[in-house]
Amino acid sequence: MSQRSSQHKNLTPAIGIALAFLLSMSSLAGCSASMAADEAPTDKSTPELASTGAPDDSQEPQATPAEDANQQNAEAASENRSATDDGVLSYRDIPAFDGNPYVYVNDGEPVFTDEQRAAEPGYEHYDELDELGRCTAVFAVVGPETQPTEKRGSIGEVRPSGWQMAKYDFVEGKYLFNRCHLLGYQLTGENANERNLITGTRYLNVQGMLPFENAVADYVDATGNHVLMAVTPVFESSELVARGVHMMAESVEDGGEGVAFNVFCYNVQPGVVIDYGTGESMLEEDATPLPDVSGAESVPGAASEGADAGEASEKGATGSNESKGVAEYVLNTNSKKFHLPSCSSVDQMSPKNREDVEDTRENLIANGYDPCKRCNP
């Protein structure tokens, strides 16, 4: 499909997108992948689906390794706007990647604005690129009218921020990076839309985003209903490659009974270390370990700077297990998680699911609650 000259495909006025949080936890390509999450919500989990979508083709034949890297001079740009400045999700709020392709945000419950909920069926909006040429936020009310009616075309002419050609034999398809659709082609028919394509790993594309895209597509195909869908790449500072993608969706006609999720998908590739500032990469075994800038460092009980990671982890676990006294906790009665009052997830919790208690950690676990993996109470 040829790229549309307009970034709005609906007759309704453009609605300002404000991705609310979390989430939120941001396509869309890939083959079928089973979804394994460490904190799946109890009543709004993503349906298990057979993969119906085809993976985004990361490398078009006309693209060659000799192409100049699409890098912006990040140091020359002042007051750079992160894709999350107007949104709510910061990469520093996300736990460090632990082997799962995504984590749930806001216990998996999506958060949409009143403006987004008022959007007409078929409405689509793609925010402009920022001053570094990075994708920002996209939103659509996905339905039968937004799905593609033409054969998919080439996207090789689009060079997202941080685009690099890199090949590793152990990566499916060999190529590290794909041109990842934020709103998948099977949902909106968007093809070579530069506002909808980011530099994403094959792992992000297939293991992270695709299962959620397929959940939406299968629901629309089966019911003819509509789904609110918001996707935002999450950048750290002025880096050109997103650390991940924040994805939210909620089925409209049935109030989220059919599809509802809020997830963050990690833009990583196991075995490869990525320089998110430039898009360059190397084998993990050849790399010098880099500091983790995710929210893991701020977890209570984490190691002090310079301490051995393994020793710190052991001390943190010991400290938690030895805490026998009564303390203040916040329960999510829906997800059956308990949090420290200072946990960032508490601010995103639905009031109807929140319960403040004074109890012991051991009692809460005995009553069926699990400790939040972000704040590690």
Tell me: the pLDDT tens digits for 287-315? Answer: 766 555 555 544 443 333 333 434 433 33
CA distance 188 to 181: 10
pLDDT at res. 376: 76
Residue 190, helix vs strand vs coil: coil
Q: What percent of the chain has pLDDT over 90?
A: 50
How many Å is the maximal CA-CA distance in the chain?
64
What integer pLDDT is reported at residue 289 of this predicted model? Answer: 61
Question: What residues have CB less than 8 Å from 346, skipping those under 6 apart?
Answer: 330, 339, 340, 354
pLDDT for the residue numbered 187: 97
Residues of the chain with pLDDT under 70: 1-88, 288-324, 373-374
φ/ψ of 308, rounded to 5, equals: -65, 130
Distance CA 91, CA 25 (A): 11
CATH 3.40.570.10 fits 74-286, yes or no: yes
Q: Is the pTM for the entire model greater than 0.85?
A: no
Kindly give, in sequence order, each residue whose CB lies less than 8 Å from that of residue 44, ignoring residues fewer than 6 positions away.
108, 109, 256, 260, 261
Rounded-to-integer distance, Cα 186 and Cα 217, Å:
7
**Domains of the chain by residue range:** 74-286, 299-371
Residue identified by tokens 């009031």 is: 351
| Residue at 320: amino acid letter | S
Q: Vertex 201, ends 288 and 37: CA angle to 5°?
A: 95
Quote the pLDDT of residue 362. 83
Cα–Cα dist 145/7, whole Å: 16
pLDDT of the residue at 326: 86
